[in-house]
Amino acid sequence: MKPLRLGTRPSALALWQANWTRDALEANGVPVEIVKIHTKGDVDRDAAIVNLGAQGVFTKEIQRALLLGEIDLAVHSLKDLPVERIDGLRLTAVPGRADFRDAFVSNRFASLDELPPGVVVATSSMRRQSQLLRRSNGAWDVRPVRGNVETRLKKLDDGEFDAMILASAGLNRLGFGSRIRHFLERPDFLPAVGQGALGLETRADDAETIARVAPLADEATFLSVLAERSLLATLQGGCLVPIGALGTLASSTQSAEINAPKSQTLRLDAQILSFDGKTAFQTVATRTFDAALADDEKRAIAEQLGRDAAQTLLDQGATELVAEIRRIRDERAGLTSPQN
């Protein structure tokens, strides 16, 4: 059997993801060859993500290689994968999700509750920055930080910051789980869309690879992240906008009768914040459906749930906030000129 060529970024975390995917596929009898691909986000580690320009700084080169047939399969951290669909490509499988929460890391403090005014907190995420500013009412000095997980932790240990917020999934995958002091929880701290999940992408017409990869899909995670990504796409936010979302799927028995059909309930928690954290809108949307529905029908329900949640946020008053966020984001990325 010809090995699947699996494309990945060369960072330690991306290689962990690629090695996990390879091992899972090979456990199913599918040989895999890992192909390392450098992306814009890997090359320019000093610039803030918002200043790197267009979406997909960690994925575009990998997706290009996939379209050109240089690789057969790509593995992405799903929160880095833009929601815009690319002709010829398909999100084929989403394995079971790791811990989706953000983690508080500090050598001085045990939790957010201990942080005094003026403390310096670092994060690589505009969403986390907005959440922290809202939680502290602007009392904390929240600063951006770039680099891989090891680099960011070293900056913390060198005393550049008093505390840092990182994704718990990345910390655990790289063996830094012991650095976590506590977790940031709902409802105030929703994770990034797709956080903790991996996305396995193939060419849409590559039936053989799709069939070999499909067994790695986890239904609950797939439906959850589809709802989250649909929300993001409807708000046209991209990964640079302060949007948090978390989908969860629960199953229940409709009656005590033997072989009675089961229902499933998909829940989506969603929030959008201003960059300064002073304004925020939040909602929870749910949809219950028959567990026996076909996969395509369930996925359509998940995507509609995301659209419905987004519309609720807009109806609450988020329309002007979304427009303002996009304007500020584009100015920071150098796509427009600042307004006088």
Which active-site residues does the annotation give? 80
Residue 152: name the closest of 119, 125, 134, 113 by CA: 125
Alpha-helix runs per DSSP H in the chain: 12-27, 40-43, 60-67, 126-136, 149-157, 168-173, 207-213, 219-235, 295-313, 319-332
DSSP SS3 for 104: strand
Contact 80, 125 (CB under 8 A): no
Left if phi > 0, otherwise alpha if psi is -120 to 50, otherwise beta: which for 246?
Answer: beta
DSSP SS3 for 309: helix
Residue for token digits 């379209």? 67
Distance CA 15, CA 43 (A): 16
